[in-house]
Amino acid sequence: MTRWLKIVGIGDDGVKGLGPAARAVVDQADVIVGGERQLAMVGDHEAECLSWPKPFDIMVEELRAGSGKNVCVLASGDPTCHGVGSLLADKLGVDAVQILPTPSAFSLACARLGWSSQTTHTLSLHGRPLELLHPFVQPNVRILALSENAETPTRVAALLCDRGYQSSRLTVLSHMGGEYENIVSAQVDQWGPDQPVANLNTIAIECLASPEAPLVPRSPGLPDELFEHDGQLTKREVRAMTLSALSPTPGQLLWDIGAGCGSVSIEWMRSTPSCRAIAIESNPKRAQLIRSNATTLGTPDVDIVVGTAVPALTGLARPDAIFVGGGITQPRLFDECWRSLKPGGRLVANVISLEGEQILDQWQRTAGGQLTRIAVSRGETIGKFRCFKPLMAVTQFCAIKHEIQDGR
């Protein structure tokens, strides 16, 4: 197939900064599509110029209809780095698309700061919740974040101070590569809203934790006290073993049935930025706790479904893993979970009651897998003495679906 759609990455230096091949694409275009800032860079042009509409899918169909013309899409920097390049290639087919990138904002920032790109964590806060930054904030870590606007660095500084990272260094790079390039830097607790920052900026953070800052790693088993809950919480030690059995993998989807305060969903999503989770919880007040915990711990994109399994599972995207933390006695729960689970998926369930153990025994007889008894005791002081106080024992079922069931 002819690569009829050309996607050209353009920097803040405009058309003059394009290489010969990219410049030829722009000059020969019959139709040019881009944001207002990119379209202004090409100036007067005989081509038909179109701005991105909302919703985005409208433009995808218009682009498809124009496949007989020379169509050029302008995007910032590297179109495959938080840009439209990968999205259009996915929707129109990679054989229809040619991408001509320029350095991304992340590449330019690393070049300005002398940072190693392969050891620097990157994310976009443009049009996305600021709380997504939380899992990245770790001691001695370097972060680059695409900004929403000129106010974003001040909001980031406040978030870092709240986390106990007030000694960190914040550097904001505006209009990199352009006529108005500007770089400002300050310690986080000295950052103010009067800093000369443009709307088009990239934020660089050198994380330095204070001694009293709580450690909130991405490894499973966060302290129980980090979660708001009403008692329905998978305890730290059991949660770590549960996440180990679920085996979070980049890009995979978890169903968390009987999610309680959402601790398993949240830790699943914290493991890697591309992990997704649907938390199914019948209690509306607990659903609010899930939302609050997800925001505080950096997974605001968790999908919350208020309802009772099995009915609440209808129409949900097929999962790669399922955790059943509550509702084990619901009729047909196993059948629906096992049928919906993708081949190679993991089904994990925790129970504490004898009735629950009887059900898990039946699940194992049907699907195989492993039953494990998890018994944890914590040291406590009673009077003048110290002893171990046992937590309620948990029986865990874990099975991997090796076969395609019911033709799915």
pLDDT tens by residue, 120-145: 999 999 999 999 999 999 999 999 99
**Please, which pLDDT band fits residue 53 given cuts at 50, 70 and 90?**
confident
Full DSSP string of 185-239 = EEEGGG--TTS---SSEEEEEE----TTSPP--SSS---GGGS--SS----HHHH
Q: Give the model's pLDDT for residue 1.
A: 54
- Within 258-380, where are the H helices? 263-270, 284-296, 333-340, 354-367
In angstroms, the CA 347 to CA 320 distance is 9
Q: How far apart are CA 269 and CA 262, in angstroms?
A: 11
Return the minimum-mean-pLDDT range out of 62-71, 187-196, 229-238: 62-71
Residues in the chain: 408
Residue 407: pLDDT band with limits 50, 70, 90: very low
pLDDT of res. 46: 86
Q: Are 331 and 375 in contact (CB under 8 A)?
A: no
Q: At what angle do helices 84-92 and 56-65 cross, to 10 degrees?
A: 60
What CA–CA distances, in Å, run from 276 to 22, 43, 119, 202? Answer: 37, 42, 24, 26
Mean pLDDT of 285-313: 96
Task: Specify the pLDDT at position 406.
Answer: 46
Band of pLDDT at residue 59, cut at 50, 70 and 90: confident
Residue with tokens 């329905």: 232
Q: What's the rounded mean pLDDT across residues 37-54? A: 88
Number of other CB atoms surrounding residue 231 within 10 Å: 6
- Report which of residues 224 and 65 the model is more confident about: 224
CA distance 291 to 219: 21
Residue 97 banded pLDDT, cuts 50, 70, 90: very high
pLDDT tens sequence across 72-84: 999 999 999 999 9
In the prediction, which pLDDT does 62 show? 84
β-strands 71-76, 5-10 pairing: parallel
Residues of the chain with CATH 3.30.950.10: 106-206
* Inter-residue contact 166 to 157 (CB < 8 Å): no
Residues forming CATH 3.40.1010.10 domain(s) in the chain = 5-102
What average pLDDT does range 196-212 have in this prediction? Answer: 96
pLDDT at residue 408, as a whole number: 43
- Across the range 284-295, mean pLDDT stands at 97
What is the C-alpha separation between 100 and 26, in angstroms, rounded? 11
Fold for domain 224-400? Rossmann fold (3.40.50)
- pLDDT-derived band at 292, boundaries 50, 70, 90: very high
Which residue type occupies 341?
L
Residue 163 has pLDDT above 50, yes or no: yes
The model's confidence at residue 320, banded by pLDDT at 50, 70 and 90, is very high
- Residue 145 confidence (pLDDT): 98
What rounded mean pLDDT belongs to the chain? 94
Residue carrying the six token digits 């898990």: 360
Q: What is the mean pLDDT of residues 216-230?
A: 95
Give Cβ neighbours of residue 231 (< 8 Å, ≥ 6 apart): none
Categorize the per-residue pLDDT at 405 as very low, low, confident or very high, splitting at 50, 70 and 90: very low
Residue whose pair of structure tokens reads 């009403």 in the numeric block: 230
How would CATH label the architecture of 106-206?
A: 2-Layer Sandwich (3.30)
Task: State the sign of the Cα–Cα–Cα–Cα dihedral 226, 232, 235, 239.
Answer: negative
DSSP tag of 82: S
Homologous superfamily of the 5-102 domain (CATH): Tetrapyrrole methylase, N-terminal domain (3.40.1010.10)
Percent of the chain with pLDDT over 90: 87
- If you average pLDDT over residues 37-50, what whole number do you get? 88
Structure tokens at 72: 């050029």
Q: C-alpha angle with apex 245: 367 to 263, nearest 5 degrees?
A: 120
**pLDDT at 77 (0 to 100):** 94
Whether residue 191 contacts residue 172, with contact meaning beta carbons closer than 8 Å, is answered with: no
pLDDT at residue 61, as a whole number: 85
- Please state, in angstroms and rounded to a whole number, the distance separating the CA atoms of residues 162 and 382: 35
Q: Are 113 and 41 in contact (CB under 8 A)?
A: no
